[in-house]
Amino acid sequence: MDVPVRIRLGLNGADTQLGRIRLNRRLIDTASQHFGAYHILEMGRHFDDYLIAWPPPQLQMYYGPHLALRRTGKQRAPVITGNIGETVAGQVFRRKIGVPISRLRHIYPTSRFRTPDYLLDCRVAIPPRIIACLNNPANAPFTRWPVESKAAATAGRITQSVRSALQQVASYWFNHRVTNAAVMGYGIIVTFQYQGQSPEVVVRIFEPSHQAILLQSAGTMTAAQFTAAINRIGSAERGALRNVN
């Protein structure tokens, strides 16, 4: 599978093409050792079954005996598709954005906070591909940026996933509004649409247009209020992100 990769500022900025990335069973098996958050053996087999040849004929189930006998297909396990999304995102960072593996670290999830998948270490340098997307690169912080990845079958599901991902990134902003205030409004969402006529990877770079509004809101709202405001079209908080409304 050769998948085109695009990068843009916000949700509706102009796209820059980053070429294509080759994804196959062998590469996914190797990459998941570094990028997958969960230990899942033979991720490449899941990649082939879940993405290339879904649904495999052997994944059948039958309702019964108390219901009418009816054959249906099994569902994809969310933890598997999530791990594939993280693995693909890691490969895009390494092969298309030029980020060494050592600068992309997993965030250990907790039940207390909704956390994004990765932190991108920009303390020494911000990758040029990201700098080139920003409207005001001189203000970009040399700190750790939150990164969330999503994989979904269709464009409609990708749209839903981006909303969820933005809330996870916003949750990081809120929870680090004091310890890492400079990153408020900066983050990255990587989506992998794997079905349809045009599978693709899109990298969305987030940049604040009015960081002071975000910091002020985070200081007066609860976490739930803040993340909801970020996702509410027309809100002041959403409007404080560039190319999002």
What pLDDT, on a 0 to 100 scale, did the predictor assign at position 1? Answer: 72
What pLDDT, on a 0 to 100 scale, did the predictor assign at position 69? Answer: 47
What pLDDT, on a 0 to 100 scale, did the predictor assign at position 10? Answer: 95
What pLDDT, on a 0 to 100 scale, did the predictor assign at position 35? Answer: 57
What pLDDT, on a 0 to 100 scale, did the predictor assign at position 23? Answer: 74
User: Average pLDDT over the chain, rounded to whole?
Assistant: 82
Tokens of 47: 């990649």
What pLDDT, on a 0 to 100 scale, did the predictor assign at position 245? Answer: 79
> pLDDT per residue over 160-177, tens digit each?
999 999 999 999 999 999
What pLDDT, on a 0 to 100 scale, did the predictor assign at position 109? Answer: 59
Q: Residues 218, 176: contact at Cβ < 8 Å?
A: no
* In the block, residue with structure tokens 């409007």: 239
CA distance 153 to 74: 15
> pLDDT per residue over 60-113, tens digit each?
555 555 555 455 556 665 555 656 767 788 888 888 999 887 888 877 655 455
The SS3 assignment for 19 reads strand
What pLDDT, on a 0 to 100 scale, did the predictor assign at position 53? Answer: 58
Q: With b meaning 16 or more CB within 10 Å and e meaning fewer, what string describes 200-220?
A: bbbbbbbbbbebebbbebbee
What pLDDT, on a 0 to 100 scale, did the predictor assign at position 195? Answer: 78
What pLDDT, on a 0 to 100 scale, did the predictor assign at position 95? Answer: 86
The residue among 9, 36, 58 whose CA lies nearest residue 151 is 36
The SS3 assignment for 225 reads helix
Residues of the chain with pLDDT under 50: 41, 69, 111
